[in-house]
Amino acid sequence: MWQKIEVSEFRTKLRKRKILPIIFTVQKKQVTVLSIQDKLVAQRTYLILGALFIASLVVSNLIFQKFFYWDFFGIYTFEISVGILPYPITFLITDIISEVYGKKKANEVVTAGIFASFFSLLIVVVSDAVPATNWSPVGDTLFSKVFGATAIAVLASMMAYLVAQYIDIQIFHFWKRLTRGKHLWLRNNFSTFFSQFVDTFTVLLLLCSFGKISWSLFGGLLLSGFLFKVIVAALDTPLLYAAVFAFRKRFGLKMGEEINYSASNGQE
């Protein structure tokens, strides 16, 4: 039968048998302590990355109505919206922030992008509603033709963006935990490939549903859009490595370590 003993007595018995250090010793995770100046530099860099992210996102929603073609070395001809050009930059930036600043900071940038997009939508709607003067270089008809579909574009883009970006961040950190901070290329490409497909599929589905794009173009645009994003994601992997290397060297971070603003004594 089990005997009821006090915790202190139990610890004493374990100590005598030299088992206590094994059970009760907890190794604390070592983190790099940043100086106040380094923290300021890290914060300013984060703000710059966030600004580039938001600018790329907002612009992609404003220019999406122009489509272009790209002959990829005679292998395949892409037919895609120019709105897709700045979009891969947003995933590269969130991957950099995820790797260096952590999941929470990456989610904050995504949320800020949502508010910025809806605010830009409000400005466009108001601008479209006010009447143009007789001498205005851009009349009401032309302005509405260029920006009139922005509301639908922003709605479709935001729904797809919201889902895809959070999926990208979740998968990125899943692979980061699984690989213990190693194999950056693996989590960068695995997270981006899947989230980019979700983004492309959702945007086209909504635009076709709202009648902005013909359903007959859905398959071709989906294939072109996804393949283009996959190629760009693969090509930007060296840029991600270069950015992460620069951050680690500047702030003395170890592999897989994230910037910790609260660390003050080398321990969490």
> Over the stretch 194-240, which tens digit does the pLDDT of each residue have?
777 887 888 788 778 877 778 888 888 888 888 887 888 788 888 98
- 4 part of a folded domain: no
pTM: 0.74
77 three-class SS: strand
Instruction: Give me the amino acid identity at 94.
Output: T
**So what's the pLDDT on residue 45?**
94
- 212 part of a folded domain: yes
Long-range contacts, stretch 26-30, CB < 8 angstroms, 24+ apart? 28/267, 28/268, 29/267, 29/268, 30/266, 30/267
**So what's the pLDDT on residue 47?**
95
Burial class (CB in 10 A: 0-12, 13-18, 19+), 176: buried
DSSP annotation of 254: P
CA distance 77 to 223: 11
Q: Read off the CATH number of the domain in which 201 is found.
A: 1.10.1760
Q: How far is CA 213 from CA 208, 222, 223, in A?
A: 5, 12, 15
Structural domain span for residue 131: 36-251
At residue 19, what are phi and psi to the nearest 5 degrees?
-100, -25
**So what's the pLDDT on residue 48?**
96
**So what's the pLDDT on residue 25?**
36
Q: How many folded domains does the chain comprise?
A: 1
At residue 202, what are phi and psi to the nearest 5 degrees?
-65, -45
Q: Tokens standing for 169?
A: 């961040």
**So what's the pLDDT on residue 152?**
66
- 24 part of a folded domain: no
- 224 part of a folded domain: yes
Task: Going from the first residue of the chain to its last (268 residues), give the mean pLDDT of each consecutive group of 10, the final group possibly shorter.
Answer: 50 53 42 82 94 90 82 82 82 87 88 87 87 91 78 68 75 76 72 78 80 82 82 84 90 83 54
Question: In this structure, what is the dihedral angle of CA atoms 60, 64, 69, 75, given to the nearest 10 degrees?
Answer: 60
